[in-house]
Structure 1
Amino acid sequence: MSNGGKNADILLVEDNPNDVELILHVFQWCNLSDKVQVAWNGEEALDYIFGKGSFSGRDPKARPKVILLDLKLPKVDGLEVLRSLRRNPETRTIPVVVLTSSREERDIIESYDLGVNSYIVKPVQFDEFANVIRELGLYWKTINQPPVDPADKTG
């Protein structure tokens, strides 16, 4: 279901194959799966966003509409990914939703301090999790109004 490094509307940064499978299944069911890119760790997410590494041919100016970001990731953790995004003027306005199993107050506080747009704890029950994913995808892809990308402005 990953779109092979092409420009994605949704960047899913998740290392749990079961969660990825469920999320992609729900997106497919909601017709949101056509432009989803999966990054399996924080390093891969940063490479995708900035057009580096295995994504060096991708235009980094083509930004996702939303990034769904797990916190507990291999190589580079989610908070460091968020920190890197918010530090860079080119990526600072990309909406980021933390989607994690962590209920740690310090993770919640640090995420919001770093400018996360939403913090969602993954529900344990399958039906609840599927519903949360459906609502997330529909909100960020169809309802939310992002800022105009300066690169898209003409004249």
Structure 2
Amino acid sequence: MEILLVEDNPADIRLTKEALKEADQKVNLNVVMNGVSALQFLRTSGSSPDHPRPDLIILDLNLPKKNGREVLADVKGDPELRTIPVVVLTTSTADEDILTSYHLHANCYVHKPMDLERFIEVILSIQSFWYWMVVRPAERIRDPW
């Protein structure tokens, strides 16, 4: 499974990496630290075996250069990218952020816990759900929409 983590907090990046190491599944985690880099990564993904297209994007909302809402709008507005599931993982519990994320077609919105054990549980739950339970479109199938 290929995951793109779009996160600017080094501590949260480290915790995510540690949590995914605990999983039994093979996961390749790519990390970018701002919205501009996220879109550059996504638009060049799939161009080589060393740069595969992500199966899942974990996106923070509060990012430098281009915020998570803007990244989400660009991803879901791009016919080549919109089928990649996007999990918004953020500290915000503001109703406006939640509603805006869903209006921009986020696949889910998860509150980022401050507690270390709970954070690891959340990451493992996200990874497990998208790895084992969800049927994702094959990359070779073109989106007719």
Q: State the shift of 1:149 in Å.
A: 3.1
Alignment counterpart, residue 123 of structure 1, candidates 108, 113, 128: 113
Q: State the shift of 1:63 in Å.
A: 2.3
Could you tell me which runs of 5 or more consecutive residues in structure 2 were left unpaired when the two chains were aligned.
none
Q: TM-score normalised to the size of structure 2?
A: 0.88
RMSD of the TM alignment (CA)?
2.3
Corresponding residue for residue 23 of structure 1? 16
**Structure-2 separation of matches of 1:142 and 1:41:** 29
Corresponding residue for residue 107 of structure 1? 97
Q: State the shift of 1:147 in Å.
A: 2.3
**Structure-2 separation of matches of 1:58 and 1:150:** 15
Q: CA 1:41–1:124 in structure 2 vs 1: closer, same or farther (change >3 Å)?
A: same
Q: State the shift of 1:92 in Å.
A: 1.0
Corresponding residue for residue 72 of structure 1? 62
Equivalenced residue count is: 142
Q: State the shift of 1:148 in Å.
A: 3.2
**Structure-1 separation of matches of 2:81 and 2:64:** 22
**Structure-1 separation of matches of 2:15 and 2:25:** 13
Deviations, residues 54-102 of structure 1 (Å, cap 9, x unaligned): x7x657x942111000000001100000000111111111100000001
Is contact 2:61-2:69 (8 Å) kept? yes
Q: TM-score normalised to the size of structure 1?
A: 0.83
Moved over 2 A (4+): 31-34, 147-153
**Structure-2 separation of matches of 1:123 and 1:23:** 12
